Structure 1
Amino acid sequence: MQTENLLKQVNFIKEIDKLKYIQRKTKLFNSNRNENDAEHSWHLAMMTIVLAEHSDKPIDVLKVLKMVLIHDIVEIDAGDTFIYDTAKSHTNTEEELMAAKRIFGLLPAEQAEEFITIWTEFEEGITDEAKFARSMDRFEPLLQNTSNNGGTWAEFDVPYQKVYDKKKAIKNGSATLWNYAENLINESVDKGILKK
């Protein structure tokens, strides 16, 4: 049984290497190179460790780390949907659920169930851990765009209100981070890198 589990786990580990090839629209800080999903997930994990003290509620940091590390694995099958996409909804959870079942299904049954549960919890965004994880997911691209003279906002002509509406999810996990983020958004308008 142990050997069977190990083989499944190694197979999963090989499969998720594909995450490194999923390109996001956002670019690395002060760079022209697009970030990939694996880099994004790593950065969110580091942000979680560094910024956990700013969560509005006590959180299980290990659970948040699991969420931010696995939340985009489904994009191996479903692809990355740009948060400001006007043609496709960013909440394509049915397609992503199929991907979650296939990819996490490579793991031994108990682990597969745990990963699907954690992924679903992140998607629903109801628990304190999910709220903070989603805050991290919205905060990182904001920091990237402000470091890149508007980044994807300028590239795709995204207006202030759309940015504000998408980013205000940060406040569900942290009033402190939202205050910082809201100031950055407003400063971006003042600097002319976000259209009001």
Structure 2
Amino acid sequence: MDDPTFQTLADETPLPDTIPARLRQQLAFVIEVDKLKTILRQSPLAAVQRRENDAEHSWHLALMVVILAEYADEPIDIGHTLKLVLIHDLIEIYAGDTPIYHPTMGADQAEREVKAAEQLFGLLPADQATEIRALWDEFEARETPEARFAKAMDRLEPQLLNWMARGGTWLSPGITADDVRARKAVIGDASKALWDASREIIGEGERRGWARPGR
């Protein structure tokens, strides 16, 4: 770590020295990512009145991949796609969540997240650090069928939660139904069927007053 003051959760209660070094490093990483459960997103849960956290979001995406893979426009490796959705938000442990409709936080998002990726994945043994970083980079680039479908799930899940909340973050200041459509359009890069369904959801939300009319 470049920062000599940086401490992980495992540093606070070190694992026994008798555990092999590689395994100790891996277990320390597994402990550190417990922090994902503390990172709150803007999306409201459907079942109770509170916001979801990143760990809940990642689990939900993984289940959606399993259930909705048949709607991918290109064949996808489900196992690989699961890795992408489980890895994609880990960097928010250090970078924080960047709300999709926030007017300014996106300006330095890429810089914050790359720094966080280097710090977090660097906790792993070198071979696994390289592997996990490659998965994160693949998700961000969206150049493979699996990454495009993983991103589609990332945009579809909060849309379903906002529908259940009868607006949710769709009602963020200054946001219209057209803005929602624009932010969700990447769903169409992976699945015409899911994008058609998404547009129906947004359109009906707009008709019901759960999203401001488009400009």
TM-score class, shorter-chain normalisation, is over 0.9
Q: Which residue pairs with 1:22 in the alignment?
A: 39
Partner of 1:148 in structure 2? 165
Closer, same or farther in 2 for the Cα pair 1:26/1:133, shift >3 Å? same
Question: Alpha carbons of 1:103 and 1:33: their partners in 2 closer, same or farther (altered >3 Å)?
Answer: same
Give the Å deviation of 1:157: 4.8
Q: State the TM-score, normalizing by the size of structure 1.
A: 0.96
1:1-196 paired onto structure 2 within 5 Å? 3-89=20-106, 92-196=109-213
Corresponding residue for residue 14 of structure 2: none
Provide the rounded CA distance (Å) in 2 between the counterparts of 1:175 and 1:103: 35
Q: Give CA deviations for 1:170-194 in whole Å, capped at 9, x if unaligned.
A: 0111111001001001000111101
Query: Residues 171 and 210 of structure 2 are in contact (CA less than 8 Å); yes or no, is this contact kept in structure 1?
Result: yes
* Matched residue SS, 1:25: strand
Counterpart of 2:75 in structure 1: which amino acid?
P
Q: Which has the higher contact order (CA 8 A, sep 6+)?
A: 1
Q: Secondary structure at the match of 2:81?
A: helix
CA distance in 2, matches of 1:106, 1:147: 38
Q: Do the aligned partners of 1:64 and 1:133 also contact (CA within 8 Å) in 2?
A: yes
The alpha-carbon distance between structure 1 residues 90 and 57, as it changes in their structure 2 partners (threshold 3 A), is: farther
Q: Give unmatched runs, 5+ long, in structure 2.
A: 1-18
Change (3 A) 1:90 1:184: farther
Measured on the aligned residues, the alpha-carbon RMSD in Å equals 1.4
User: Which secondary structure state, in structure 1, belongs to the residue aligned with residue 124 of structure 2?
Assistant: coil
Over the matched positions of the two proteins, sequence identity in percent amounts to: 45
Residue identity in the other structure for 1:108? P
Measured against aligned partners, the alpha-carbon deviations of 1:39-91 in whole angstroms (never above 9, x if no partner) come to 00000000001111111101111111111001000001100000011012177
List structure 1 segments (4+ residues) > 3 angstroms apart after TM superposition.
none
Once residues 152 and 90 of structure 1 are traced to their aligned partners in structure 2, the CA distance between those partners, rounded to angstroms, is 20
Q: Report the residue type matching 1:146 in the other structure.
A: W
For 1:2-60, what per-residue CA distance to the aligned partner results, in whole angstroms no more than 9, with x for missing partners? 92211111000010000000000101115320000000000000000111111110111
Q: In structure 2, do the counterparts of structure 1 residues 91 and 140 end up closer, same or farther at CA, with 3 Å as the change threshold?
A: farther
Whether the 8 Å contact between 1:30 and 1:148 is mirrored in structure 2 is no
Which protein shows a greater Rg? 2
Bigger Cα displacement from structure 2, 138-147 vs 89-98: 89-98
